[in-house]
Amino acid sequence: MIRIVLLGPPGSGKGTQASTLQKRRGIPHIASGDLLRANVRDHTQLGRQAQPYMDRGDLVPDALILDMMSDRLSQPDAREGYVLDGFPRTVAQAEALEQRLGQLGGEPDAVIYLDVPETEILRRLSGRRTCPACNAVYHVDTMPPQREGICDTCGAELVQRQDEKPDVIRKRLQVYAEQTQPLLEFYRGRSLLHEIDGTIGVDNVLRAIEDIVATARASVQEQTA
């Protein structure tokens, strides 16, 4: 059992890495953004409430997010641990994760921060293509699908996300700096933060994350032995 949080600005590669970790290590990848987009697509009450915030690049209010994540973290697969992508995103969410969310309760075993500068983020997000069916992520230049515009995994047509317009990307970066960056200090203070240069290529970032996960797993096993 291992609980990992991936932190980083929009476009830093959290989803790319978490989905590979799920495939290679069997740790459930739980992405708050993917859960919200599924609710928007299915026209649920949560989707209708969340959509205006997401379209503007603002954070969805904590109360809605905490209900959604509490549900998700209470499902049976999360008993084996998780890689969280996009959550927590505010100090209030991090405190809730620590204190009361899901059956696992307690603080994560490791928090991994992917450090990527703004110029690179803008390049990545303008070329990103996403699969609306299975959430696979591509980039038109650096990670293109085998057939242009078609998901390698499930064959669905790839799309550009609604929040990838330049003014919305700028807003998301501003919101990240104001509301999510304080989490670096929060987790540093708990000695849980690991920082990785997120520009070193997908495979090298994955290797660095896997080293951290292996060390965290060994420490969890030691504590529970």
Chain residues that interact with ligand AP5, rule: CB under 6 A: 8, 10-16, 32-33, 36, 53-54, 57-60, 65, 86-87, 89, 93, 124, 128, 137-139, 142-143, 163, 172, 198, 201-202, 205
Check 89, 124, 129, 217 and give the catalytic one. 89
Q: Which of 25, 56, 79, 161 is catalytic?
A: 161
Closest CB to ligand AP5 among residues 137, 220: 137
Q: Is there a catalytic annotation at residue 14?
A: yes
Q: How far is the CB of 18 from ligand AP5 (least distance, A)?
A: 8
Any idea what DSSP says for residue 200?
S
Is 100 noted as a catalytic residue in this protein? no
**143 vs 220 by CB, closer to ligand AP5:** 143
Angle, to 10 degrees, between the axis of helix 202-224 and the axis of helix 14-25?
60
What is the rounded CA–CA span in Å between residue 222 and residue 225?
5
Query: Least distance in Å: CB of 217 to ligand AP5?
Result: 23
Nearer to ligand AP5, 55 or 219 (CB): 55
- Yes or no: say if 114 and 180 are a contact pair by the CB < 8 Å rule: no
What DSSP state is assigned to residue 75? S
170 is catalytic: no
Tokens 């991994």 correspond to 112
Nearest residue to 209 via CA among 11, 10, 9, 14: 14
Amino acid present at 130? T
Q: Is 23 a catalytic residue?
A: no
3 flagged as catalytic: no
Distance CA 67, CA 206 (A): 31
Report in angstroms how near the CB of residue 88 gets to ligand AP5 at its nearest. 6
The answer to whether residues 176 and 90 touch, using CB atoms and an 8 Å cutoff, is no
Catalytic residue numbers? 14, 89, 128, 161, 172
